Amino acid sequence: MKEKDYIEELIANNLEALNDNEPFEGHFDRFEEKLKAQHKTRKLTWNMVLKVAAVVVFALLATNQAFIYFSSDSQGLLLNATKNEDITLASVSPEYQEVEFYYTTSINTGLEQWNALTREGMISEDEEAMMQNELKEFERLYKNLQSDLASNPNDERVINAMLEFYQTKLSLINMIVNKLEEVKQQKNNHDESI
């Protein structure tokens, strides 16, 4: 409390000297105008709305043009693929090309094993005919998926359907080949025990 008394006493003793320094003429008016300017709210005018709308439309158009420019190469690849040959996942993107390569290689390996088992006599003619019918059905389904992909190259549903097609075909071929290998091994074991 002692400091407060000292400060009050200092002000009281020097009151005349302190009151001598008045602000310049119009200081309070200028200060009041600045305060009012800070608290003014901006009015929304049609001019401002039109400017904002023009900026938004310009941004959307620029984004659309950039999308068309950067995706035109992939669209051109897709158009060339449909003109020259059947469209595949490799036409959509390099990542899908790797996936498609894996599946087609694995499926071809399974079919080679199937053919080897056929040559060894492990598969009857009826089973061979049934398998050929299944492969024809897979080919028909694949052609339908290709036409869907050609008309909707960026549709994730079509791409996922093609991936599921490859997975299903590979699973079916592997399952049959594995079962035939088991039968072959059991037959060999049976022949050895006799």
Q: What's the one-letter identity of residue 100?
A: E
Q: Which value, to the nearest 10 degrees, does the dihedral of the CA atoms of residues 129, 131, 137, 139 take? A: -110
pLDDT tens-digit readout, 73-85 = 444 444 444 443 5
Q: Token pair of 29, please?
A: 């008016």
pTM listed for this prediction: 0.53
pLDDT tens-digit readout, 147-178 = 888 888 888 888 888 888 888 888 888 888 88
Q: Token pair of 185, please?
A: 């091994």
Spell out, as residue ranges, where the chain has pLDDT lower than 50: 72-84
Q: CB count, 10 Å around CB of 84? A: 8
Give backbone dihedrals phi and psi of 132, rounded to 5 degrees, phi first. Answer: -65, -40
Contact of 105 with 166, CB cutoff 8 Å: no
